[in-house]
Amino acid sequence: MRRPLDIRAAFALSKSMRLVDVDAANDMAMDAIDEAYQEGIADGHRGNDAISLLFTDEPALRRAWQEGQDFAAELAEMAACPGCHDDAGRPCVRHG
Ligand SMILES: [Zn+2]
């Protein structure tokens, strides 16, 4: 996994790439957004709820990181929810 600085740099580079190759630029941007999402999950698992300053002023990265945080929080909630542990591994009504 790349660190926030690398993710931010790749996202910035994708904007320049847009002048040359729009498809490649979109791929680069999507990769960076996905990595910001993964970083949000990883930070959530580590108990870090402070977003990197490198993501805060870039709406797409900020949103993706927050979505990762929310997903990590939901996983933690489900792991602690007795209703989510039936024999078939189905989530409870609230988390399903
Ligand atoms: Zn549940």
Q: Is 20 domain-assigned?
A: yes
List CB-based neighbours of ion ligand 1 within 5 Å: 81, 83-84, 92, 95
- If you average pLDDT over residues 15-30, what whole number do you get? 97
Residues 6 or more apart whose CB falls under 8 angstroms from that of 87 comprise none
Distance from the alpha carbon of residue 63 to the mean position of ligand 1, in angstroms = 25
Distance from the alpha carbon of residue 68 to the mean position of ligand 1, in angstroms = 19
The number of distinct structural domains making up the chain is 1
pLDDT of residue 89: 75
Gap between the Cα atoms of 10 and 51, Å rounded:
18
Q: Convert the pLDDT of each residue in 34-90 to its tens digit.
A: 999 999 999 999 999 999 999 999 999 999 999 999 999 999 999 899 888 777 778
Gap between the Cα atoms of 57 and 72, Å rounded:
22
Task: Report residue 91's pLDDT band, with 50, 70 and 90 as the boundaries.
Answer: confident
The domain of 39 spans 4-85
Q: Is 92 domain-assigned?
A: no
Q: Is 77 domain-assigned?
A: yes
**Of 57, 10, 53, nearest in space to 32 by CA:** 10
Gap between the Cα atoms of 80 and 66, Å rounded:
21
Report the predicted TM-score, pTM, of the whole model to 2 decimal places: 0.88
Distance from the alpha carbon of residue 14 to the mean position of ligand 1, in angstroms = 40
Distance from the alpha carbon of residue 33 to the mean position of ligand 1, in angstroms = 29
Gap between the Cα atoms of 84 and 58, Å rounded:
36
Distance from the alpha carbon of residue 88 to the mean position of ligand 1, in angstroms = 13
